[in-house]
A and B are shown apart, each in its own frame.
Chain A
């Protein structure tokens, strides 16, 4: 048998290149391209009165300066609203360059093209923009108060208002034996990949074609957007995604202004043009996330079972809504986690502020929803004096109840129906892993030693692998190697390995014979993108479908050559053979040769396929009716709806009695993403997510002042976890295969981050003896909360 690699922790195929400095990231390309820099607004809200470029014009090496007035046709219109929704009644998107008004610090006002980035920045420094500042709307409270408006034509600063309800939640709560209310607060954070965005464009005036390299999560859609904005035939636009230094959501938004402006300038100038975002630009002109205020009312019985849940929340969507209201929709639906809520009502407002726009960051609204639900579970447990794990257990959807219809509409417009999962089994594993039932003794012992420790847990369910579709193309070359392409992109998830495992497994070839290309519109033209933990579910199944077609064709051709029934054939280590008769065999490479009858020979392999070399039936066409030359196929996967992964995390923390410093002693994860294709890659994904969860709970926040200045727009001041802040992560897996797709897989990319805030809030609350309701939490905030709590209890 061919060594099967599915399910094995094989080492990644992409690593040697990346490790030896041979990666090709955006700024590794186009060394001779012109450099671009932008003049960006220093004001959060202002009228642009005048742009004076006079003193920039004599900068040596300046090539061009563009402002809004230079933009023509569709490029002069606002950028697209990518995901419209009926509830998004007041969607607003920016112009590629500000027209008359700026709505956040960092909005691009003028574009400078010069010999290199240094010179472009020199010119930017000399451009004088006159602004007429207007009052800035910062923070959810101010947005709700609507004393000032972000957009004059958006009343109340409300971009969207949405309600979903299943049952009569308010009546159920009013009738419940017990009712609790919680007010919760989650601050802003951001994806913050180590590589920012970047765009490099080349216009071929002879061919009238454009090639654009961009650090994106959605190359085919960027291509469509560029073609539309620049009025080019889509066939004349290629978009190539090189190695991408992390995305985590921020690079799914498109087209960013720079993604249309840089190609536009390249065409106008007939020169190669490149823009590479610097770190400060990334902070003030890319996207943020999180940022919600929540009010929860819950009614429950004496056992802690939910009877009714009524959630209202206010979501800060920043200055514009190019990505629609995906984040709050996800919060409102995924909030329910693994629980049966009884009757459920959720209502949200998505609000404009004069801050950087808000679009999905890993987890995409789920961390906020998980925070709301899990804080509620802990509140019920505390109120009734029941163990926190037990309350959760009592509210779980049971495995026998799958598929479970929650009666809501999910972010893909499809019904929210969980397909699989065994939540009680996951919780058992987690309790065992962390030693939940023994922790009371640990807490007491620590207390006796003068230390304060606490344990927390949090559960989540994550809809992954949303449609509409992805495709895969698989080809066996005449040397027996296999090339695979899929349209979605890669930002470090190991697609060159996992997708190769899928193809190698179906085709019966060694893994090292398979090469995978992603995110290149020259290689695969139809795709959606890499987001929502969907790549393996979507492209994995599409590649498997394509590989199965190739396999079928290979067996058919081999069957003719071997005069055997294809059903009696197997493929082992790249050789097709009659099962049980190893001597009767033909290499896949030869099958590939036979699949493509030739007139011309250019090497020994092709000579074997020419018209005088084969003993083909002279009365039949060389390519049979219904067949196509070549051993290749394209396959697509389009699911009816999302598949639902889940997980449960537990953390043990110690809070310093004097300084209120929060130290993570243990972090345990039980994770269920269905069938594991490569456990090593899955664990890596979980690790990274957990680290971002630690950051979101304890460190990361975007600090805006009341004028809309982002005060911590650098890595000096925006605190991301270093190795010293991330604890050792202990992981156990449960595998409940998804019944929705042939591979049985569910997504894993976002999982690790989702319960981070909730689990730390739970653990810190346990250590301190009062409820934490606001995330992230710093030592000084915890110190203040302690004092507040002491004052309250003294009274």
Chain B
């Protein structure tokens, strides 16, 4: 049988460990070993962005990473973008407010991408919002309401910061 390797990392604030083959993709590791199925795989070659997770706070395509290569990292998936009480996080709430999703398959990759982006740029213009999501594919929405969701999320963050 294939050699197995220990992987230890923190996922959504929880230390996790598993023994996996060297070739186990991070996307498959999250989805099938840790059963965090919110991360979706749309193309397996890093183009569509559905599998985007945050590795040490930065967006990364989990279909292009091996699980063993993120040993010791801190990973955030779409499940980790919710509030601790399980309610929707600001980016998720913004998507709900703006009808930013239809089938919902690409959505987790947008949510993680935008979460990291707003940390960098909390007050994007509409053009900046469009640019921020231009590395992710969506086949349902025509992106109109995703752009709106980015702006709405920025607004919700500002409101949250005030309260």
Contacts and interface: CB of A to CB of B under 8 A. Distances in A.
Interface of A: 11-12, 14-16, 18-25, 27-28, 31, 60-61, 118, 192-195, 243-246, 248, 278-279, 491-494, 680-681, 683-685, 687-692, 714-716, 720, 722-724, 726, 728-729, 752
B88 A19 contact: yes
Given A684-B145, A729-B142, A715 B96 contact: no
A246 B92 CA distance: 20
B97 interface: yes
Contact of B142 (A246, A248, A492, A726): A726
CB-CB nearest 6 A-B residue pairs: A21-B38, A245-B105, A492-B103, A18-B104, A691-B142, A687-B142
Interface string B68-95: 0000000001110110001010001001
Contact of A715 (B2, B47, B81, B140): B47
A680 B144 CA distance: 12
A750 to B, nearest CB: 13
Given A15-B96, A279-B45, A194 B36 contact: no
B161 interface: no
Given A716-B45, A726-B144, A245 B88 contact: no
Given A684-B99, A726-B143, A195 B105 contact: yes
Given A11-B96, A118-B24, A724-B130, 20 more contacts: A14-B104, A15-B96, A19-B111, A21-B79, A24-B37, A60-B1, A118-B21, A192-B139, A194-B48, A194-B50, A195-B105, A246-B105, A279-B44, A492-B103, A493-B102, A494-B102, A684-B99, A687-B145, A716-B45, A723-B147
Contacts of A20: 38, 78-79, 81-82, 86, 88, 92
A194 B136 CA distance: 11
Contacts of B60: none
A119 to B, nearest CB: 9
Contacts of B78: 19-21
SS class, residues of chain A in contact with chain B = loop
Contacts of B146: 723
B23 A194 contact: no
A279 B47 CA distance: 11
Contacts of A23: 37-38, 104-105
A491 B140 CA distance: 10
Contact of A728 (B1, B134, B144): B144
A195 B104 CA distance: 10
B118 interface: no
Given A21-B79, A723-B134, A12 B99 contact: yes
A724 B130 CA distance: 7
B91 to A, nearest CB: 9
B162 interface: no
Contacts of A690: 142
Given A15-B95, A16-B96, A688 B102 contact: yes
Contact of B103 (A21, A246, A714): A246
B67 interface: no
B103 A195 contact: yes
Interface in B51-68: none
Contact of B139 (A18, A193, A714, A724): A193
B107 A18 contact: yes
Nearest to B32: A31
B119 to A, nearest CB: 19
Interface in B6-31: 21, 23-24, 31
A194 B139 contact: yes
Given A194-B137, A494-B102, A715 B48 contact: yes
Contacts of A726: 142-144
Contact of B134 (A195, A716, A722, A729): A722
A28 B105 contact: no
A194 B35 contact: no
Nearest to B97: A11
B154 interface: no
A480 to B, nearest CB: 25
Contacts of B21: 118
A256 B99 CA distance: 32
A19 B107 contact: yes
Nearest to B103: A492
Given A27-B31, A194-B48, A246-B139, A723 B130 contact: yes
23 contacts: A15-B96, A19-B111, A20-B88, A21-B36, A21-B39, A25-B105, A118-B23, A243-B105, A245-B40, A245-B42, A245-B105, A246-B139, A493-B102, A684-B140, A684-B141, A687-B142, A687-B143, A688-B139, A688-B140, A690-B142, A716-B45, A726-B144, A729-B142
Contacts of A31: 32, 35
A681 B130 contact: no
A722 B131 CA distance: 10
Contacts of A278: 44
B138 interface: yes
Given A21-B79, A28-B31, A692 B139 contact: yes
A194 B142 contact: no
Contacts of B38: 20-23
A492 B79 contact: no
A78 B71 CA distance: 49
Nearest to B105: A245
A141 B105 CA distance: 38
A494 B100 CA distance: 12
Contacts of B39: 21
Contacts of A118: 21, 23-24
B41 interface: yes
Contacts of B145: 684, 687
Contacts of B104: 14-15, 18-19, 23, 243, 245, 492
Contacts of B44: 278-279
Given A19-B95, A681-B99, A715-B47, A724 B131 contact: yes
B70 to A, nearest CB: 18
Nearest to A687: B142
Contacts of A22: 38
A30 to B, nearest CB: 10
Contacts of B141: 684, 687-688, 691
Contacts of B1: 60-61
Nearest to B77: A21
B51 to A, nearest CB: 11
B45 A714 contact: yes
B140 A492 contact: yes
B140 A28 contact: no
Contact of B108 (A21, A492, A729): A21
B106 interface: yes
B4 interface: no
A193 B136 CA distance: 14
Nearest to B83: A20
B151 interface: no
A413 to B, nearest CB: 31
A15 B94 CA distance: 11
Contacts of A494: 102
Contacts of A28: 31, 37
B139 A684 contact: no
Contact of B138 (A21, A194, A279, A715): A194
Contacts of A681: 99
A776 to B, nearest CB: 17
Contacts of A18: 101, 104, 107
B151 to A, nearest CB: 13
A723 B49 CA distance: 13
B139 A279 contact: no
Nearest to B37: A28
Interface string B113-157: 000000000000000001101111111111111110000000000
Given A19-B111, A192-B139, A194-B42, A723 B133 contact: yes
A27 B101 CA distance: 19
A193 B105 CA distance: 9
A245 B103 contact: yes
A716 B139 CA distance: 15
Contacts of A716: 45, 47
